[in-house]
Amino acid sequence: MPDSARTDSPAPAPALRWPSDGLTAIPDWVYTSPEIYEREIERIFKGRTWNFVALEAEIPEPGCFKRSFVGATPVVVARDLKGTVHVFENRCAHRGAELCRPQLGKSTEIVCPYHQWTYDLAGNLTAVPFRRGIKNEGGMPKDFRLEDHGLLQLKVTTRHGVVFASFCRDMESFEDYVGPEILKDFDAVFAGRRLRILGYYRNTVPANWKMYHENLKDPYHATLLHAFLVSFGLLVAGNKSAMIVDPTGRHGTMASAKPPDRPQVDAESKTQMRAFSDTLRLADPKFLDFVREFDSPWSVTMQTIWPNLIVQRELNTLGVRQIVPRGPNEFLMIWTMFGYEGDSEEMTRHRLRQGNLMGPAGFLGIEDNEAMRFVQQGIVRSESDTSVVALGGTEEGTSQHLITEAAIRSMYRHYREVMGL
């Protein structure tokens, strides 16, 4: 995180008035205000949203549990002995200890280390040591009922092995929440095949969490910033591509179809793309091979599922990314990379090799994370106070080309509604 951000005093609460130019100007304070951040936690992460918490493949058997987050709130995702998945707060009902410590584990119960109050895998309080005291001395009051002191339990849903949780008591179904346009490419990754976890990355980004959504709703940057994408035609002006937005504007799918070999980029486009190089060649091109394995016209789909999930299908490298906000100026990314059960040894290695594209050390990942850091620095430290989102004019929603910021505007239309801005 930039020193300045660390050492500067908190800016005085800005007047939270949205600029008049509607959605083509974004005020800096949505990225920096602690007040806005607190409201986001309440209205978005703890509001009417489905938050990604785990893949079922991470907790395959009864008794398996995992630490996770909903927004910034630590939770535990556990599979009870009957196989049902539960999500509850990682906070003891007694004095408040964050009781579950390992990232992953397996057990028949969850015991708080401090005074050993004991919970089942649904988060129900099952035992309080010396509840009746000793020799009729002490212990909990007669009217103390275990069932009144369980861990705060969240609503849970799963789709094809992906687990979501919500603080909202009357959430609509996940299917209604994301809508058919998004569900289609989501299912292309998850339906019908069981996942095999290949491993984790974790990294922080010193930027506001919304920038990660914007980055993946911004096909314009993809064709300019990423030399790899453009030079090798993974996502480039000229490819068949689309930026799909759901009707509410909050979810998205950036999609592109890679041509069999080097892309046909017209001379005009080349001059526009500094990152483009005809001569750039790989010593080992096979790592960019695309093994067709999905029922989809797209070779790449990057899905942003509001508010905290990214589903990555970049050729054959697959993963989910969980966004954990940590205040307005930083977020944590947890990447879970996977393949499928039954992948051949060679296919697994192909996925691993292709993994070099993504993650905090990926050819693309490095550039996106650095770019977001630069933006937060610019916003925190500068005198100016808005940014411009005018590409594609004021159009919103899905578009079939790359040179637009329509999806970002759609997201902020939804955001302003929910946030009352």
Binding site for Fe ion (CB under 5 A): 368
Shortest spacing between CB 98 and a second copy, in angstroms = 4
Binding pattern to a second copy, positions 246-275, x when CB under 8 A? ----------------------xx--xxxx
Task: Tell me which of 191, 291, 361, 403 binds another protein, using CB under 8 A.
Answer: 361
Q: How many residues bind ligand FES (CB under 6 A)?
A: 10
Burial class (CB in 10 A: 0-12, 13-18, 19+), 266: exposed
Does residue number 110 form part of the binding site for ligand FES (CB under 6 A)?
no
Does residue 202 contact residue 332 with C-beta atoms inside 8 Å? yes
Q: State the binding partner of 228 from ligand FES, Fe ion, another protein, none, CB within 5 to 8 A by kind.
A: another protein
Site membership for another protein, residue 36 (CB under 8 A): no
Contacted by 323, from ligand FES, Fe ion, another protein, none: CB < 5 to 8 Å by type: none
* Site residues (CB under 8 A) for another protein, limited to 61-80: 67
Task: In angstroms, give the least distance from the CB of 392 to another protein.
Answer: 24
Only one of the segments 107-115, 171-179, 247-255, 286-294 lies at the binding site for a second copy (rule: CB under 8 A); that segment is 107-115
By CB under 8 A, name the one of 140, 152, 227, 375 that touches another protein: 227
Binder of residue 410, out of a second copy, another protein, ligand FES, none (CB less than 5 to 8 A by kind): none
Kindly state the tokens that stand for 133: 């005291």
Distance CA 105, CA 246 (A): 37
92 binds a second copy (CB under 8 A): yes
- Examine residue 118 and tell whether it contacts another protein (CB under 8 A): no
Q: Please tell me whether residue 97 binds another protein under the rule CB under 8 A.
A: no
What is d(CA 326, CA 298) in angstroms, rounded to the nearest whole number?
34
What residue 260 binds from another protein, a second copy, ligand FES, none (CB within 5 to 8 A, per partner kind)?
Answer: none
Residues near another protein, by CB under 8 A = 1-3, 67, 101-103, 113, 197-206, 225, 227-228, 231, 275, 277, 280, 282-284, 287, 332, 337, 348-349, 352-353, 355-356, 359-361, 363, 365-367, 369-371, 373-374
